[in-house]
Chains A and B, each alone.
Chain A
Amino acid sequence: MLPYTKCVLPVILYKSTNVTERFILPAIQLRTFSKNQSATFGNEHYKQLTSIQKAVLAVGTGLSSFFDPTRAESIAVFGEVTAEPALRYIYEQMLSDPEGAEILREKPRINSKTVEIERLAQFSSDSFGRAYYDFLHSNNVTPDSRLPVRYIKDPELAYVMQRYREIHDLVHTVTGQPTNMLGEVVVKWIEGIQTGLPMCVTGGLFGATRLKPKQREKYIQTHLPWAIQVGKNSRPFLNIYYEKRWEDSVEQLRDYISPLLNKPPK
């Protein structure tokens, strides 16, 4: 199938906040697309918010997430309401990377319908797919527990947010961090440095205040420096097309993202 270049004279509205206008149209000028159109993200749960609602929601969910970190919907809403500027940055970053652009073109989803979890168990024991399967089972989590994005208008950015949420467990698997408080804080630091999402940054900063003394010791001595190094010197986790790498070995994948991942803190 021969690729063709779409001739588009974009009207770039410099003041536009619409990502499609600011990034996709110029990108179409520079890139050649195959005949297949890029998939669209439904964003069917979208709910419009006024600025007052956004402000109150941001503050309110921020506080309720801090006081009760087990409330997943509260953290998710806080993430969405504060995410937009960071999401534009992430989107740009993804577009400029071939694998990231492929993800944006195909918009894969991760849930029990799209990923055959039982099949992953049959892969070799050092494969990434098998590691993910073990992670899901030992922590008793399922990829279906991710809430749909509701408060982001642009479907492209909404997809990026949804993708960020859905690969969270995969990031845990790749970094080898468990889902206890310390593990979550470490992952939040890595994600926060890479993406700049406020929920990750605040999660890392304020989440650390809830660590127990022993964990806090570990956090200060080894985990935090490691997390910062990984965050600064690794390929963005959002640019990895995990669904095509189930059979790769975990070590190779970690090395590809950042060699430090093969030397985790204890």
Chain B
Amino acid sequence: MIRQRLLTLGSGNSSTNSLYSFRYFTSSSYLCDKATIGGSLGSESNRTHYSSEKETHFGYETVSEQEKAHKVKAVFENVAKTYDIMNDVMSIGIHRVWKDIFIQRLGPGNRTKLIDVAGGTEFSTNQRPENEVEAMQQAASESNPQPPKTYENTLTRSVLVCDINPKMLDVGKERSKTILTHCQRNRIDWMEGDAENLPTIPDNSFDAYTIAFGIRNCVHVDKVLEEAYRIIRPGGRFMCLEFSHVTNPAVKWAYDQYSFQMIPVMGQIIAGDWDSYQYLVESIRKFPNQEEFKSMIEQVGFRFTSYEDLSFGVATIHTGFKI
């Protein structure tokens, strides 16, 4: 039943979608000309400005904003190849359940235009297409007694995966080759971009904006939220899955012990990188708690905001609507 609910993301006729179409950042624009798209921390005028004086936190360390941006980039370059394995090991596979629930809460329809920011290795997006074939057939047989989707229909893009780090995107593209079918892959677009500044994406372009375990690593969380508000169309939905604070004291103690004792050790053993995983567990503690983050989302303009704790608050889904 759940699988059938995860409907296709296939677009209908392209003519009706011209207003919301994101065809002009299809392959030609973003694959060929990285300079016009918000790429890595470059010196172009349309890049987000990371101050070298203002200070912020990098885990428990205090660094300048520019340094944080560089360090986060280095962390994700180092972990990209073993990112998915490490996620499985650290969360004992539970992260798959969280992402499944996340998508279920979103409930994407067959015309939903979705942007997955900090999508990187693109695990969340991959989850949905796995069920799409069945859902497609179901939808086709129920609503439209017509022949199966034509080749043209399957070519329309419906998901844009955006990440600031090209190495993470590369890993995602490699994974999608093995996990998704050709038709499903065609419906995914890839883009290198900074979540705080997406100048090539016009206002009101997307029905849904998801960011899973990415917002914590951004230097200016409020700017990410503002940009999200801008590019979501009226009526659209913002969804964020992120590590958050555990309130239950017993669980908190166990979680802290596990985080600080085991996770960097596993990072060293599996990925050969203690420091990146030390950063990861520290950055979770530094991120605002559920209520604070909810009010940050509200301040930007989203309404009907709410949050749902998963696993005692180890992960939380925050959501808001642009209404």
Chain A residues proximal to chain B, CB less than 8 Å = 47, 50, 52-53, 56-57, 60-61, 63-64, 71, 73-74, 77, 150
* Residue B281 is within 8 A (CB to CB) of chain A in the complex: no
Which chain B residues border A53 with CB–CB below 8 Å?
A: 261-262, 265
Of the residues B262, B272, B274, contact of A56 by C-beta under 8 Å: B262
B274 x A47 contact (CB < 8 A): yes
A53 vs B267: C-alpha distance when bound (angstroms) = 12
A64 vs B262: C-alpha distance when bound (angstroms) = 16
B272 x A57 contact (CB < 8 A): no
Of the residues A50, A63, A73, contact of B272 by C-beta under 8 Å: A73
A57 vs B264: C-alpha distance when bound (angstroms) = 10
Q: Which residues 254-275 in B have Cβ within 8 Å of A in the complex?
A: 261-262, 265-266, 268-270, 272, 274
- Min CB distance, A63 to chain B, in Å? 8
A77 x B268 contact (CB < 8 A): yes
A71 x B262 contact (CB < 8 A): no
Number of A-B residue pairs having CB atoms within 8 Å of each other in the complex: 29
B270 x A57 contact (CB < 8 A): no
Given contacts A56-B265, A60-B265, A73-B272, 7 further A-B contacts (CB under 8 A): A57-B268, A57-B269, A60-B266, A60-B268, A61-B269, A71-B272, A150-B274
Of the residues A50, A74, A150, contact of B269 by C-beta under 8 Å: A74
8 tightest CB-CB pairs across the interface, nearest first?
A60-B269, A73-B272, A56-B265, A53-B265, A57-B265, A64-B269, A61-B269, A53-B261
* CB-CB nearest in chain B for A50: B261
Count the B residues whose beta carbon is within 8 Å of the partner chain — how many? 9
- Min CB distance, A77 to chain B, in Å? 6
Which chain A residues border B266 with CB–CB below 8 Å?
A: 60
Which chain A residues border B274 with CB–CB below 8 Å?
A: 47, 150
A150 vs B262: C-alpha distance when bound (angstroms) = 17
- Min CB distance, A199 to chain B, in Å? 15
* CB-CB nearest in chain A for B278: A47
Which chain B residues border A47 with CB–CB below 8 Å?
A: 274
Chain B residues proximal to chain A, CB less than 8 Å = 261-262, 265-266, 268-270, 272, 274
Which chain A residues border B261 with CB–CB below 8 Å?
A: 50, 52-53
A74 vs B270: C-alpha distance when bound (angstroms) = 9
A228 vs B266: C-alpha distance when bound (angstroms) = 36
Which chain B residues border A52 with CB–CB below 8 Å?
A: 261
Q: List 26 A-B contacts (CB under 8 A).
A: A47-B274, A50-B261, A52-B261, A53-B261, A53-B262, A53-B265, A56-B262, A56-B265, A56-B269, A57-B265, A57-B268, A57-B269, A60-B265, A60-B268, A60-B269, A60-B270, A61-B268, A61-B269, A63-B269, A64-B269, A71-B272, A73-B272, A74-B269, A74-B272, A77-B268, A150-B274
A60 vs B268: C-alpha distance when bound (angstroms) = 9
Which chain B residues border A63 with CB–CB below 8 Å?
A: 269
A52 vs B258: C-alpha distance when bound (angstroms) = 11
Which chain A residues border B262 with CB–CB below 8 Å?
A: 53, 56
A57 vs B263: C-alpha distance when bound (angstroms) = 11
A103 vs B265: C-alpha distance when bound (angstroms) = 33
A165 vs B87: C-alpha distance when bound (angstroms) = 32
A56 vs B270: C-alpha distance when bound (angstroms) = 12
- Min CB distance, B200 to chain A, in Å? 39
A56 vs B274: C-alpha distance when bound (angstroms) = 13
Which chain A residues border B269 with CB–CB below 8 Å?
A: 56-57, 60-61, 63-64, 74
- Min CB distance, A243 to chain B, in Å? 30
A81 vs B218: C-alpha distance when bound (angstroms) = 35
- Min CB distance, B78 to chain A, in Å? 11
A129 vs B261: C-alpha distance when bound (angstroms) = 45
A77 vs B270: C-alpha distance when bound (angstroms) = 12
- Min CB distance, A55 to chain B, in Å? 10
- Min CB distance, B291 to chain A, in Å? 33
- Min CB distance, A44 to chain B, in Å? 14
A260 vs B284: C-alpha distance when bound (angstroms) = 58
Which chain B residues border A73 with CB–CB below 8 Å?
A: 268, 272
- Min CB distance, A202 to chain B, in Å? 16
Which chain A residues border B268 with CB–CB below 8 Å?
A: 57, 60-61, 73, 77
* CB-CB nearest in chain B for A54: B265
- Min CB distance, B188 to chain A, in Å? 32
- Min CB distance, B89 to chain A, in Å? 11
Which chain B residues border A71 with CB–CB below 8 Å?
A: 272
* CB-CB nearest in chain B for A52: B261
- Min CB distance, B123 to chain A, in Å? 24
Which chain B residues border A57 with CB–CB below 8 Å?
A: 265, 268-269
A53 vs B261: C-alpha distance when bound (angstroms) = 6
- Min CB distance, A69 to chain B, in Å? 13
A47 vs B261: C-alpha distance when bound (angstroms) = 13
A240 vs B261: C-alpha distance when bound (angstroms) = 39
- Min CB distance, A20 to chain B, in Å? 27
- Min CB distance, B6 to chain A, in Å? 37
* CB-CB nearest in chain B for A77: B268
- Min CB distance, B252 to chain A, in Å? 19
* CB-CB nearest in chain B for A65: B269
